[in-house]
Amino acid sequence: MIVTKEDHLYEESRRAWNRAIQMYPLQIIYCKNKEEVSRALLWAKEHGYPIRIRSGRHHYEGYSTGNDVVVIDVSQMNGIQVDEENELVTVEGGVRNRALYEAVCQLGYPFPGGGCPTVGVAGLVLGGGWGYSARMLGLSCDSLIEVEMIDVDGNCIKANAMTHPELFWALKGAGGGNFGIVVSMTFKLPKKNPTATLIQLEYKHMNTEARLELVKAWQTLFETLPHHTNMKMALYNSKEKGIGIAITGVCYGSQQEAFETIKPLIMPAKEMLLKLNECSVLEINRIIQDSHPDYEKYKSTGRFVYKTYNEEQIQSLLEIVDSKPEASDYTAITFYGLGGQIQATSKRKSAVFYRDARFILGFQSVWEDDRAKAENCTWLLEHFPIIEALTEGSFINFPLAELTDYKKAYYGDYKEPLENIKAQYDPENRLHFPQGL
């Protein structure tokens, strides 16, 4: 199906998950199989149209769409094949998180996917892929064993550890669209682990001293946190709930084990919510995914934390959160847990350069009124230098359009080898995207 600007489906078809992104592509080509992807790519190439590739519509800066471009949408390619005998699962390029969890978790397998239900699996994996199972199972890309991709000449090629190994390495962490259009991915399934405990801990209306102590306790906890537990902690300022901290996590153990694990994070407070729900991994993923809104309007980015912050540095982060712009409904600085199997996996196995960091630090502002966009974006960019000074590199799945040397920020010392692989598979740079290789 092809949707143009004159089509009655155009307005809905052009929308991104981030409603702050307002782009008007020339046309959107919905592909149902790899042959249609190949034809769409070659047609756009023949006519000289810029190309964007879209699956879940979740690109933070809207690089899966654009003005007067051809969007090749693979969201209708959503087949999933589970091979229990060989412990494999193969997904087409348009499969999203919820569908994959439903397929594998019902059989008792956990999976190192993401938290938001409508994020495309391919985009998640191509950027590395953080999730609540990552400390136990590694990043999403660490379970990847083969990729099927349409290259710039319309050919379907398979990349794995034996065939096109340099391309396979690059596809695991260098971001989407740089080398071709992914039409399928095959993953090694982990051992069955059908139950776990969902951790939900929140403190509302916290004062500065309490927040300081909790951030320090969080940092200390992660020094010895068991690999089968991972969490994220949001330091937030909400129009609805005030200033507080929310912690969400998954422990692949019993409710009692989860409680003992997070005990250092439990402190006296008038407004504390603690829920420990021991249930199926499928139900845990459903609860986490259902907590996400259907869409948002936001400006956001992410960096990597390597150091343990002292009180002065923590205070500087809290002051950013406290300075929420009037036009913002929600601002947050969020620590996403790394370490465990993420760090234990050799850096040579993927293009994820910053996998040995302690945390990903997310920074965002969310609003509802369209008129609030400029104020929120300005606020985030004005405070970004403070975040930048306390962190290293940038997480390509949480990109920022305003980065100056974005290649160095995303790829670190892998910048040059990735550019060489790009030149091999797309020598004329036909697949050129904003902040692309």
pLDDT at position 177: 82
pLDDT at position 154: 95
The domain 80-192: what is its CATH number? Answer: 3.30.465.10
pLDDT at position 269: 78
Q: Which fold has domain 195-394?
A: Vanillyl-alcohol Oxidase; Chain A, domain 3 (3.40.462)
pLDDT at position 233: 98
Annotated domain spans of the chain: 2-73, 80-192, 195-394
Q: What pLDDT, in 10s, does the model give residues 212-233?
A: 999 999 999 999 999 999 999 9
Which of 3.90.1150.10, 3.30.43.10, 3.40.980.10, 3.40.630.40 would CATH assign to domain 2-73? 3.30.43.10
Residues of the chain with confidence (pLDDT) below 70: none
pLDDT at position 418: 96
* CA pair distance 188, 302, nearest whole angstrom: 28
pLDDT at position 268: 86
User: What's CA 359's distance to the chain center, in Å?
Assistant: 14
Q: Which amino acid is it at 404?
A: T
Nearest to 328 by CA among 243, 385, 201, 205: 243
Decide: helix, strand or coil at residue 46: helix
Q: Which amino acid is it at 60?
A: Y
pLDDT at position 112: 95
Same topology, domains 2-73 and 195-394? Answer is: no
Q: What pLDDT, in 10s, does the model give residues 175-208?
A: 888 999 999 999 999 999 989 999 999 999 999 9
Tokens of 67: 């003005």
Q: What pLDDT, in 10s, does the model give residues 334-388?
A: 999 999 999 999 989 999 999 999 999 999 999 999 999 999 999 999 999 999 9
Do 74 and 37 touch, CB atoms closer than 8 A?
Answer: yes
* CA pair distance 297, 20, nearest whole angstrom: 5
Tokens of 265: 């994070």
Q: Which residues contact 383 (CB under 8 A, 6 or more apart)?
A: 320, 323, 363
> 217-222 — which CB contacts under 8 Å span 24+ positions?
217/264, 217/265, 217/267, 218/247, 218/265, 218/335, 219/308, 219/309, 219/358, 220/264, 221/262, 221/264, 221/265, 222/337, 222/339, 222/358, 222/359
